[in-house]
Structure 1
Amino acid sequence: MLAVLALLFVVVALVKDTQSNAGAGEGCPDDWPRADVTLRDHKDVKINVLNGTDRPGLAADVGNDFRNRDFQVQKEATQKKKIDDVAVLRYGPKGVGSAHLLRAYFLGDAELEYNAKREDDIVDVVLGGNFQQLATTTEVNQSLGDLGAPVAPPGSCPIVVDN
């Protein structure tokens, strides 16, 4: 009797499952970009490290820190426009999950700049005047817990991409 009830419960749960298309972008307007909200592993995240301060060599130093943490550092450079923030993360729809992970390295203090028209999966990490250092592994894990799961930016539809 218990087995029959358990089987019935499972069948009802599967039939009434409202999350069966979760992460698939179902019901989304065709003209909205599909935002990849997959939380990436460090080794799968591509970044450009940009120095938005007057401190010489900052992009190279932080780029090496990210390389030592298995990130794919594509470029290190200095940008002309200086910023006061801790950091600014610039990314497009393919970089939503990567930007979320990177935000944890700044303990949630990095500003997010989403560009729906950007087509690559690279995140630009712009270091600002208030930057001190990257978070430790323990701090990153705690910060990820505080930040929760990646969320698609307004005007985009979430998808989860399997590697």
Structure 2
Amino acid sequence: MAAVATAGAVVAVTAGVALTWPRPDAPTPPPPAAAAPTPLNCVLTLPSEPADVELRVLNGGVPAARLQSTAVALRERGFSLRFTQTAADPETTTVLRYGPAAIGAAHLMRAELHGDVTMRFDPAHRDKAVDVILAPSFDRLATPTEINQNLVTAGEPTAPPQC
């Protein structure tokens, strides 16, 4: 009985070693997949009113008087405004910089601006504020009719590829 048990143990150990022993002809298993990046919480809904949109107005080269008058007009339209005269890097067109929590707000804000506007999604921009960087080419806000036309033309906000 002891001889049978010993022989069984030897067979089991030999089989286990043979199965796990590396063989040069066997393909190596692929390395473990990298962890998928955490998806961003992207907010695509349009704000129900301008007070729900938080703005930071930055000078991207626009004259100071136009910067001031635009800030006043945005406040009069009901936007929550953190006005700052801190100069951003000079821009050639007005820029809206926003993050995942402000996609819908940036979409609405784009409709408020007349002329060329560059939309810049920044996944690292974690608050819900939209940075409005006014360039020298900026001349005015859109009229109510232009805002409605801009919203219809733009359609619903869409998620950037990072979302």
TM-score range, shorter chain: 0.7 to 0.9
Structure 2 residue 72 is matched with structure 1 residue 64: yes
Structure with bigger helix share is 2
Task: Using the TM superposition, give the Cα deviation of residue 38 of structure 1 relative to its aligned residue in structure 2, in angstroms.
Answer: 0.8
Q: How does 1:8-157 map to 2 (within 5 A)?
A: 31-40=38-47, 41-53=49-61, 55-85=63-93, 87-107=94-114, 109-156=116-163
What TM-score results when the alignment is normalised by the length of structure 2?
A: 0.72
Task: Using the TM superposition, give the Cα deviation of residue 134 of structure 1 relative to its aligned residue in structure 2, in angstroms.
Answer: 0.3
In the alignment, structure 1 segments of 5+ residues that lack a partner are 1-28, 157-163
Between Structure 1 and Structure 2, how many residues are aligned?
127
Equivalent AA in structure 1 for residue 90 of structure 2 = K
Q: CA separation of 1:122/1:89 partners in 2, compared to 1, >3 Å: closer, same or farther?
A: same
- Contact residue 47 and residue 124 of structure 1 kept, 8 A: yes
In the alignment, structure 2 segments of 5+ residues that lack a partner are 1-35
1:48 & 1:39 partners in 2: Cα distance? Answer: 18
Task: Using the TM superposition, give the Cα deviation of residue 54 of structure 1 relative to its aligned residue in structure 2, in angstroms.
Answer: 5.0
What TM-score results when the alignment is normalised by the length of structure 1?
A: 0.72
Q: Which has the higher contact order (CA 8 A, sep 6+)?
A: 1
Moved over 6 A (4+): none
Looking at CA atoms only, which structure, 1 or 2, has the larger radius of gyration? 2
| Other structure's SS at 2:157 match | coil
Equivalent AA in structure 2 for residue 74 of structure 1 = R
| Other structure's SS at 2:55 match | strand
The residue that corresponds to 1:161 in the other structure is none
